[in-house]
Amino acid sequence: MLWSIFVSSPVCLQEMWQQELDDSDDEETRFEISPPSHIIIMIDTHPKMFIKDDVNQSDISFRNCLAAVAQMAEAILFETSTCPFAIVLAKKDNIVLRHFKDNMIETIRFLNEKLKNTDDELKKEYMRDISEPLEFSNFLLHSKKVFLDAAKTYYKRILLFLTNNDNPHIAQGAKYSIINEAKSLKHADITFKIIATSESFNFAMFYNEIFEAAEQNFTEEVCVDVDALKEKLTAIAGSIQGHKKVNFYITMEDAEHVIKCYKFKSFKKHRILNNASYTRDGSQVVKTNAPPVYKYKVVCKYGYSLYDFDKEKFENKTLDCEIPYGYTFLYVTDQLVKAGENIHPPKILVCDSHEADEEKQLFRKFWDVLVECGKVFVCYEKSTRRNKIEYAQLSPYLMNEDQVFLIQRIPFGTQVKWPLEMFNEADSAAAAPISKRVPQNTVSSLAEQLVDLMTDETFNFKQLVHGKIKAKKDFVKSKLFDLPFDTTGPIEYTKKQEADAKLGSFVEKFTAVFPPMPERGRKRPRPK
């Protein structure tokens, strides 16, 4: 059993690294975190895009594409200040409607103005003649030129084609040049995707050969309405600002043997929302001026420092460079941090999908052994190279059928603050909290109930929109786009009743086990 390797000494972990891993599973870790994407969205201008070809289609496909791109831009507006996409029309000259260099706010305004036009006006302005062939090879060549203005490093480049014409008119002899340009996409590091806007779209008539020439994975994606198209575009263009590359070190003595990983948290507050706040009664959104935060403050004027130099204090704050940035393995033990005892938002640690097979196999072997023995890792945690050292617990979990570790910071000393309700006069102060801990089977039961509720077909994640966060976003949008915003009445959460009907009984069970912390009163303002 592999457990003996872990409990003996950290040196044995190094030997485990060097041993043969031929008996391990060769299947790669499917969980992949890709960099933020720069996307060229090409919208077809064939006459079929300006006709309602489906019975259930409320608008023409061209309008749906513009509306989906506009909604996608509004969805990622709070995540990035730059425009991560360009819009190109599939016409003879490959008209670039919006470029990567364009301002995001101006792009949203431009699309909203175009959506105000009637179908006939859009048709007159953008539709190409039915006899005009689709210059697909010129489009692929032109898209590579457009990508030259986007960031070349770190960003992933995606070429996305929105169309409902499965058999485009191609000029005679042009298919050979199309295949050659498709082959060049792989060398240019460009991912090619097609989203059909018609349910009767047949990919095999023309586009399958392009994917075969480009040597890329092909999936048939069909989005008929605006909502489905917007969700697909948002998923492709999604930013990963909350993700961070870290290293997992097997031993402190050997920094060469390392597993490259990613850590991320499931939620993050957008900094642009700091420009909006609430009144004390929580009923209105008001404008605020968020004060700048300075990490370091040094005042030195005319060579005279306003701060006294304390040598002992300076030596205590000297950076410890012996422990590298990331997570360094210390030992294996029983679970230390239970559910509801987090002092810091937990994070997820996953293995980098681009890591070598040997490191992936070792990552999975660590996970398998911890699950088999019911143990956890205790590691040094160094969030940044200039940060202090913390202790973290790494627990094995399955997320979307992938092996990941849950990162929980271990509290010490004054960081541990138990609620008064957990103490009993008859028990000692040290033993009372331990004896009152929530049993693990109760936590597992609550987790299973929550998973069953949220994986049900009738459940919709749109019911969980945070009312106050949504109000903040609407307020900031009203200032950016000069839109009316009602600040006179209370904030209403329109989907609250739906969420209560679905999750109300579970929330009552959860709060009975994990009561919410009492709210603290506002601090008394300092007298001026």
CA distance 228 to 167: 23
Q: Residue 329 has what pLDDT? A: 92
Compute CA distances 255 → 106, 251, 258, 526, whole Å.
48, 7, 7, 50
Question: In the prediction, which pLDDT does 510 show?
Answer: 86
Across-strand partners of 96?
88
pLDDT band of 27, cuts 50, 70, 90 = very low
Say if residue 244's pLDDT is above 70.
yes
Across 367-386, average pLDDT = 89
Q: Which domains does the chain have, with CATH numbers?
A: 37-237 (3.40.50.410), 244-289+323-417 (2.40.290.10), 443-513 (no CATH)
Rounded to whole angstroms, the Cα distance separating 469 from 472 reads 5
User: What's the rounded Cα separation, in Å, for the pair 225 and 231?
Assistant: 10
Q: Say how far apart CA 364 and CA 376 lie, in whole Å.
A: 14
Let me know: does 123 contact 136? Beta carbons within 8 Å.
no
Cβ-based burial of 436 (10 A; exposed 0-12, middle 13-18, buried ≥19): middle
pLDDT at 81: 62
Q: What is the pTM of this model?
A: 0.66
Neighbours of 221 (CB within 10 A): 15
Asked whether the predicted pLDDT for residue 9 surpasses 70, the reply is no
Q: Is the model more confident about 435 or about 214?
A: 214
Tallying the residues shown for the chain, one arrives at 528
Collapsing DSSP states into helix, strand and coil, what is residue 174? coil
In a 10 Å sphere around its CB, with 0-12 CB exposed, 13-18 middle and 19+ buried, how is residue 311 labelled? exposed
Q: What's the confidence (pLDDT) of residue 426?
A: 42
Q: Give the lowest-confidence range in 33-37, 45-49, 505-509, 511-515.
A: 33-37
- pLDDT (average), residues 394-408: 89
Helix 10-18 / helix 357-373 crossing angle, nearest 10 deg: 130
Asked whether 111 and 481 are in contact (CB, 8 A), the reply is no
Q: Is the model's pLDDT at 407 over the cut of 90? A: yes
Q: In this model, does residue 37 exceed pLDDT 70?
A: yes
The per-residue pLDDT for 373 is 92
What's CA 45's distance to the chain center, in Å?
Answer: 32
Q: Are 128 and 46 in contact (CB under 8 A)?
A: yes
Using alpha carbons only, what angle is made at residue 266 by residues 270 and 499, rounded to the nearest 5 degrees? 90
Whether 280 has a pLDDT exceeding 70, the answer reads no
Nearest to 509, CA basis, from 454, 447, 452, 425: 447
Segment 126-155, tens digit of pLDDT: 888 877 777 788 888 888 888 877 765 556
Q: pLDDT of 442-483, one tens digit each? A: 888 888 888 888 888 777 777 777 777 777 778 778 877 877
What mean pLDDT do residues 374-387 have? 85
Burial category of 492 from C-beta neighbours within 10 Å (exposed 0-12, middle 13-18, buried 19 and up):
exposed
Going by C-alpha positions, the residue among 386, 438, 393 that lies closest to residue 412 is 393
Instruction: Please spell the DSSP secondary structure of 377-396, one letter per residue.
Output: EEEEEESSTTSPPEEEEEEE
Quick one: pLDDT at residue 349?
Answer: 92
Q: What's the mean pLDDT when you consider all of the chain?
A: 74
| Among the ranges given (196-200, 247-251, 426-430), the one the predictor scored with the smallest mean pLDDT | 426-430
Q: What is the pLDDT of residues 150-181, one digit of tens each?
A: 765 556 788 888 988 887 767 666 777 888 88
Q: What is the mean pLDDT of residues 185-202?
A: 84
Is pLDDT of 406 > 90?
yes
| Residue 77: predicted pLDDT | 80
Q: Are 236 and 160 in contact (CB under 8 A)?
A: yes
Higher pLDDT, 11 or 80: 80
Question: pLDDT digit string (tens) for 203-212?
Answer: 878 777 788 7
The one-character DSSP state at 39 is E
Higher pLDDT, 5 or 426: 426
Does position 52 have pLDDT exceeding 60, yes or no?
A: yes
pLDDT higher than 80, residue 30? no
pLDDT in tens, 59-86: 888 999 999 999 888 888 877 666 788 8
Residue 8: predicted pLDDT: 34
